[in-house]
A and B are shown apart, each in its own frame.
Chain A
Amino acid sequence: MDQDTPFDLSLTEEQRITRESMQRYARDVLREQARDADEAGALPSDFLGRAAELGLTLLPIPEAAGGAGMERSPLANMLNIEDLAWGDFSLALAMVTPRAFVNAVLDFGTEEQQRRFLEPLAREEFVPATVALMEGTATFEPSQLRTRARKTGDGYQIEGEKRLVPLGASAEQMLVVAHLEGEGPAAFVVEQGSAGLSAEEQSYMGLRAMETATVRLDGVTVPEDHRLPHFNLQRLVDLARIGTCALAVGSCQGVLDYVTPWVKDRKAFGEPIAYRQSVAFMVANINIELEAMRLLTWRAASRAEQGLDFHREAYLARVCCAEKAMEIGTNGVQLMGGHGFIRDNPVELWYRNLRSVGLLEGTAVV
């Protein structure tokens, strides 16, 4: 990028148009379906099939692999996630999960691998694919994985357990990140139906609308060329942190937009509760910290977009979002009092979903 490029927060025409259509989809489709999906603990039937019409997966796949070959853009991806998450955190995450796999293969795979692994995803209908990084330890650290891979004669054998894998049970293809003995973190494409691969859906406090699975790899073997040679764990983790932050930003914007009219309508002691500073200041602080979250996230994404180092920036965005998103989530419920605790209102759903921001790793790679 030109070194004279000014500090700027304006959208390109293309970004503006895309944002509008994502926001419309979030409002008309995601927000409408969020509650029922959460209660059912499952995506609405054909939800993903219809969401595929947005082209989130198809667009970034290279033409050579049958996709639309749109330019790789962490920034555009981040904006998509922010806009969709306004509608619903977990539905949005489900929608962008295959793209996380696509982005990882684009960044870390050879051209041959891109063609081979992405071609099956380049379809009009939704094809589940995912990245499996998280594990079940409280002290989980992406660079110290318990899932192990070792070199065999003509490939690799993987042993371990991955947790909280989005679409982990249905994924046709899964990028499994494991510690390769003698080398360090490595990434392998594991296909559905591989011997030794099993998955079981797991329920969580939130993210209930989407499929989240515990994936077991009992001596799963993959051929040599299923390992992505240019794998960079830090980049994967950082891009995923930007994605997680964008989920948080969109969802928290939803909280703010929802509580704003509510505190003006709700009367107590003869006037709207919004007239009281203790309520109004809570709204002001949601506003202020949401702005902090958003700008840190945008900066990290913008640096990634420009090819600048963005590890520190993604790290700081995540630190801010982890803390502030939950604060906003809990204050959203607080502002509505008892009403916020009732499942008729969405704030308790957002509260449960936002709890995941501080612990999610490796999902929503932008």
Chain B
Amino acid sequence: MINLELPQKLQNTRQMTHQLAESVFRPISRKYDRIEHCDTPEELHPVGQMAAGMRGGDGKKSGGDEVKNGANLQGIVSVEEMCWGDVGLMLSIPGQGLGNAAVQAVGTPEQKEKFGSLYCAMAITEPEAGSDSAAVQTTARLDGDEWVLNGEKIYCTAGQRCDAVVIWATLDKSQGKAAIKSFIVPRDNPGMKLVRVEDKMGLRVSDTAAFSLIECRIPYDHILGSPEIAQTEEERKKAFGGVMQTFDNTRPQVAAMALGVARAALEMTREILEKEGVAADFSKSLYNSSALEAEIYRMEADLDAARLMTWKAAWMADNGQANSKEASMCKAKAGRTGNAITLKCVELCGEAGYSEEQLLEKLARDSKIIDIFEGTQQIQQLIVARQQLGLSSSELK
């Protein structure tokens, strides 16, 4: 039955997470933006322990007949609230790396047991392979009962602070996508060297690491998924598709980050403007409202639309429906909306918006990366277009 409101259980989740964001994240948001490079902020250790206790959600039905509001939707709701507090801090919560999502998605029971409690980052991007993740040049070869990795990885979120990194590498460059596998490399492996931690425009507290892997040896059972290279076209599609499927679950999560950041900016803007007598109370039609009010209405419409799209993609995942297109649609909509809203809010609030006395300028710096990582705006549009048009990646490049 059509209902686009959250059930009480998820409203409680939202409220609890909001309290955390408000009491823990928001007060230290500016502080860590200035510090930028540091170990895991001490304030986040208790949050990490709490999150570890809650990980995965229960995925249980929350009422109704067959419809589940499970772990995916619950995750979305929490992520938006935490990012309302601070997106960089959320990404710095120990134990909540993207690598963890990969282990959960494709790991064997033994791997989940062994690495599940670690803080796992994910390293896909290389100096010569960004959006084109099939072009990774890092190699893996089997030597006895060990894998040996060689290559360079950049833009690895939480790479500095994590316990292990999930590294994408190819078993055979000549075999393309099908030969790309992921490997778990403990952070203290002597073959994996931290080269640097990037200085960034925004999202500063979240560490972004570069690694070099030189004859980096890991045990055989550290490969995620099958070590076989698919030989038929069908198998190849399936193998790489399996890896890419992780994104169907993570893209709505990243969309939710944009929702949180944008909502924070919009609320601050409303507050500042209300003090100056701008009400934006939906009492007049769009064009009979002031220009300021009209901007607020447009932003609220875009933000709410992006949120509903994100909820839909998560709801589909919770109910076992293929959601690749919806995941990309929500990421595209939320990514660009989040960026546009935060930038517009700075402008609407004038000097106050631009000043470091407020958080608006920081939100406008943080939001940009959300329209880039986990698939840029353009990559999402490619995916949506290919799905809608029924075209392959060799037809629609």
Contact = CB atoms under 8 A, between A and B. Distances in A.
A11 B67 CA distance: 11
B298 A306 contact: no
Contacts of A260: 388-389
A6 B301 contact: no
Interface residues of B, number: 57
Contacts of B285: 140-142, 361
* 3 A-B pairs with the lowest CB-CB distances in the bound complex, closest first: A4-B63, A292-B305, A280-B385
Contacts of B3: 1, 5-8, 302, 306
Interface in A265-281: 272, 274-275, 277, 280-281
Given A4-B62, A141-B284, A287 B4 contact: no
Contacts of B333: 288-289, 291-292
Nearest to A11: B2
B24 interface: no
Given A287-B384, A295-B308, A12 B389 contact: no
B384 A288 contact: yes
In terms of DSSP, what is the predominant structure of the interface of chain B? helix
Interface string B14-56: 0000000000000000000000000000000000000000000
B7 A311 contact: no
Contacts of A158: none
A315 B311 CA distance: 21
Which of B3, B381, B395, B396 counts the most chain A CB atoms within 10 A?
B3
B238 interface: no
27 contacts: A2-B63, A4-B63, A5-B7, A5-B64, A6-B61, A6-B67, A6-B68, A7-B3, A7-B4, A7-B7, A7-B10, A7-B73, A7-B311, A15-B2, A141-B284, A264-B389, A280-B389, A281-B385, A284-B385, A288-B309, A288-B384, A291-B333, A302-B3, A302-B5, A303-B4, A306-B5, A319-B286
Contacts of A317: 301
A280 B2 contact: no
B195 interface: no
A323 B286 CA distance: 11
A319 B67 CA distance: 31
Contact of B2 (A10, A284, A311, A320): A10
B306 interface: yes
Given A274-B396, A302-B4, A320-B302, 7 more contacts: A4-B7, A7-B315, A8-B64, A10-B67, A284-B332, A284-B384, A319-B286
Contact of B332 (A139, A288, A311): A288
A323 B295 CA distance: 13
B69 interface: yes
A312 B282 CA distance: 7
Nearest to A290: B329
Interface in A289-312: 289, 291-293, 295-296, 298-299, 301-303, 305-306, 308, 311-312
Contacts of B61: 6
Given A7-B73, A10-B1, A280 B396 contact: yes
